[in-house]
Amino acid sequence: SVLSVPGSGLHQPHPSPPVGGEEVVRGIAVEKFDIVKKWGINTYKCTKQLISERFGRGSRTVDLELETQIELLRETKRKYECVLQLARALTNHFYSLVQTQHALGDAFADLSQKSPELQEEFGYNAETQKLLCKNGETLLGAVNFFVSSINTLVNKTMEDTLMTVKQYETARLEYDAYRTDLEELSMGPRDASTLCRLDAAQSQFQSHKDKYEKLRADVAIKLKFLEENKIKVMHKQLLLFHNAISAYFAGNQQQLEQTLKQFNIKLKTPGAEKPSWLEEQ
């Protein structure tokens, strides 16, 4: 096409898009199409394999020892989640108790000042509630530390391992899907077209086999380290929980404070204008 220049008989050609630009766009489009195509083929094969396994028609690669460990981890996580839920409920209820004791102590102290005939009785009740409140806050610090540690173990450490397990299970399904595809091609006729497809299937199978075996090894290592970490964490946290609860209900203030020092738990300074530890949960 041409562009007319006013006042002259000359015509200038329209600028054409650079050839290189068209090739880049075409290359990107082809690349995206290939990605979608591979994804579609992979999804089809995996869906076919999954359906075959569920209806008992397809074979499934099973690592009995590893799968037993994985199921045990999932069961352990469910039980620890229950403990975590109960510990949080205990914390909430006990926090309400401590707040009530604090308010009751203030009420007794106020009445002690305004009731001369019962000043002593109101006074020692006020002191008792203040002491209970102080010990309760100390216990809450210990229980909160327990809850925080269990939460980290369950929702970070265990969850991280289970994410790797999910990747492993996906890789296992892909491995079996491409293994089945290779086996079916191997039983077919050996013409030139089939041999070409067989070579491609062998290459894809080997790639998914390598991925599967790597993730299987990763899961085994993570399960081992998780078990060691779980024992270490729970040994400390269960000892803390037991010692703190026992000292509180025995009325042993010194032992309760010693328990917090033993586990390096620091309470906030009384009266600090910050959200309570419960609000930060």
Sorted by where each begins, the domain ranges of the chain are 64-262
Q: Which CATH class is domain 64-262?
A: mainly alpha
3-state helix, strand, coil in the chain (%, to 5): 80, 0, 15
pLDDT at 104: 95
Per-residue pLDDT at 8 exceeds 60: no
pLDDT at 221: 97
Q: How confident is the model at residue 271 (pLDDT cuts 50, 70, 90)?
A: very low
Q: What is the pLDDT of residues 30-81, one digit of tens each?
A: 666 566 666 677 777 777 767 776 766 777 788 999 999 999 999 999 999 9
Per-residue pLDDT at 17 exceeds 90: no
CA-closest candidate to residue 146, choices 54, 263, 258, 67: 263
Helix (H, G, I), strand (E, B) or coil at 260: helix
> How far apart, in Å, are the Cα atoms of 48 and each of 41, 44, 58, 173, 232?
11, 6, 9, 10, 44
